[in-house]
């Protein structure tokens, strides 16, 4: 517990224009990894634009570790097919939390993370003060696949007794 900074809630919103891996569709799910932690969403049947709307929560002890996401197509009689992967860095998000911002108006942009070669962002990602907390919305472009994106939202959860940021 003394090594823990806090929890990162990753709201996996949806997939956008994911690759077809079955006859005419896919049965996608998302796997989120950070260090030794591994979490996954439910499978959405026959949909290349799935809406998961699921919360996955990681314990954060080292904010320098990248978070990796992989999308797979669930298959019954064979290994699940890869549908792309992406990774993102939470350092800018953690830096915004360290600012210990007070009561800003909801919707205030704290900082922006530009899309570029060094990240998988499909577009600029804003870190925003919303309803008393810091959140980051992002759309990740999947690599190692023909096309596809995944939309996420990050939210920090402080843990009493943890080291904190």
Q: Would you say 57 and 98 are in contact if contact means Cβ atoms under 8 Å apart?
A: no
- Whether residue 120 lies inside any domain: the answer is no
The tens-digit pLDDT sequence of the chain (165 residues) is 558 889 999 999 999 999 998 888 999 999 999 999 999 999 999 999 999 999 999 999 999 999 999 999 999 888 999 999 999 999 999 999 888 777 788 888 999 999 988 899 999 999 999 888 899 999 999 999 999 999 999 999 888 776 666
* Residue 39's CATH number: 2.60.40.150
- Whether residue 107 lies inside any domain: the answer is no
Domain that holds residue 77: 6-90+137-157
pTM of the model as a whole: 0.93
Please state the domain count of the chain: 1
């Amino acid at each position: 517990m003394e090594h823990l900074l806090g929890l990162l809630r990753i709201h996996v919103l949806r997939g956008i224009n994911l690759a077809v891996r079955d006859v005419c569709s896919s049965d996608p799910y998302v796997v989120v990894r950070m260090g030794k932690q591994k979490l996954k969403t439910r499978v959405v049947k026959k949909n290349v634009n799935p809406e998961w709307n699921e919360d996955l929560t990681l314990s954060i002890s080292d904010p320098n570790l990248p978070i990796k996401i992989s999308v797979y197509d669930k298959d019954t009689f064979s290994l699940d097919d890869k549908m792309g992967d992406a990774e993102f860095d939470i350092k800018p998000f953690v830096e915004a939390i360290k600012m210990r911002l007070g009561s800003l108006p909801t919707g205030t942009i704290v900082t922006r993370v530009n899309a570029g070669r060094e990240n998988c962002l499909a577009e600029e990602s804003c870190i925003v003060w919303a309803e008393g907390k810091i959140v980051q919305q992002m759309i990740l472009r999947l690599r190692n696949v023909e096309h596809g994106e995944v939309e996420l939202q990050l939210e920090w959860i402080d843990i009493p007794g943890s080291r904190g940021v």
